[in-house]
Amino acid sequence: MSFAEHETSAFVAQTLSELGVEVSRPTETSVLGRLRGEGSGPVVALRADIDALPIVEESGVEFTSERPGAMHACGHDGHTAMLLGAAAELVAGGVPAGEVRFIFQHGEELAPGGAREMIDAGVMEGVDFVYGCHLWTPLEFGKVAAVPGDWMAAADFFEITITGRGGHAGLPHTAVDTVACAAELVGSLQHIVSRRIDPLQPAVVTIGSIHAGDAPNVIPGEAVLRGTSRSFAPDVRSRIPELIEEIGQGVCAAHGATFALNFVFGYKPVVNDAAATEVVRSVVDAELVDLDPIMGGDDFSAYLEQAPGCYAFVGAGGAFPHHHPRFVIDERALAIGTQMHIDVARKALG
């Protein structure tokens, strides 16, 4: 899983070395491969994320995870396979000039993400063009989306702690009920998007985890809620934690409880460069489709702050959504994604 990809990164490093790619380890669980041409030229970076999710797998595939509670439920195993395949083809075909960098990034699924560490380690120094792609099951196999401008939302994360006073379930007047407070707070937080944010500005506030108590006849003294917010506009992004704080303090005060917020700004929005996106679109050997921006997030945005680039979606249509225990991809999509890495690199190298 995120920041613990020791065996995965070791496998990637060994595979690249066997291909003849120059290998370094920017961080403990990531890999950078470099393929240099004989002459000077552009530097093109290709990125794949390699981490899994804390999910118990129920996919039933023959390569089901052997590590309990860890699953490739977002396609990152496919991303890794595609970039390794592209590396093999680019080595075989050679790079006449310039350089291709293969970035195998750790920790995409856990904010603040591994991309920042990779950048701090220097993987983007001198890069002229950066490209990555995501297998996307809501998109049918055989289709590719590469869209300029706003593409994926900023992804931020928060934890709320409600502190009350525990007590007997049959004597609620002697306690401060954190469960009742948490239930009201979840509903109240939905008013941030529906009533406090401009309806023409996309935003999401989701509570994904609630924990309070362990017994049916005990009022717990503490409730912990964890969630995420998504947005594009910087002013909306900065406003959301202010509104969570305002609403949380009010709701908890009404119940006699106290409220504490730990808000972590995670990934900035993924904004594709128009010229770089046109390069990607020009090499797509599949049905090219336009999609609306999505509220999912990805720390590929950090690379786009360092160099012009594009993050594309490769259709891998499946019956279950990303981050689902039964998530699977249409593996035919791997060939399309691999070829896109190869063709984008060659095109960007000129």
Cα separation, 78 vs 325, in Å, equals: 16
pLDDT of residue 272: 98
Domains of the chain: 6-150+270-349 (3.40.630.10), 154-266 (3.30.70.360)
pLDDT in tens, 108-126: 999 889 999 999 999 999 9
What DSSP element (H or E) covers 283?
helix 274-283
What are the CA-CA distances from residue 114 to residues 109, 283, 302 (Å)? 9, 29, 10
pLDDT of residue 127: 98
What is the Cβ-side half-sphere exposure of residue 282, based on CA atoms within 13 angstroms? Answer: 12
Helix 234-255 × helix 178-189 angle, to 10°: 150
Cα separation, 303 vs 310, in Å, equals: 10
Catalytic-residue membership of 108: yes
Cα separation, 71 vs 57, in Å, equals: 6
pLDDT in tens, 64-120: 999 999 999 999 999 999 999 999 999 999 988 999 999 999 999 998 899 999 999
Q: Is-cis flag, bond preceding 112, omega within 30?
A: yes
Q: Which of the four pLDDT bands, split at 50, 70 and 90, describes residue 318?
A: confident
pLDDT of residue 96: 85
Can you read off the two tokens belonging to residue 13?
Answer: 């490093």
What DSSP element (H or E) covers 110?
none
Catalytic-residue membership of 343: no
pLDDT of residue 265: 95
pLDDT of residue 112: 87
Q: Which of 5, 51, 57, 177 is catalytic?
A: 51
pLDDT of residue 280: 98
Adjacent-strand bridge partners of 262:
159
pLDDT of residue 130: 98
Average pLDDT over residues 131-144: 98
Q: In what order do the strands lie in the sheet with 258-267?
A: 203-211, 222-231, 154-163, 258-267
pLDDT in tens, 216-255: 999 999 999 999 999 999 999 999 999 999 999 999 999 9
Cα separation, 83 vs 30, in Å, equals: 14
pLDDT in tens, 255-308: 999 999 999 999 999 999 999 999 999 999 999 999 999 999 999 999 999 999
pLDDT in tens, 176-204: 999 999 999 999 999 999 999 999 999 99
Cα separation, 195 vs 44, in Å, equals: 44
Q: Phi then psi for 163, rounded to 5 degrees?
A: -115, 125
Average pLDDT over residues 9-27: 98
Q: Which of 108, 117, 273, 298 is catalytic?
A: 108
pTM above the 0.85 mark?
A: yes
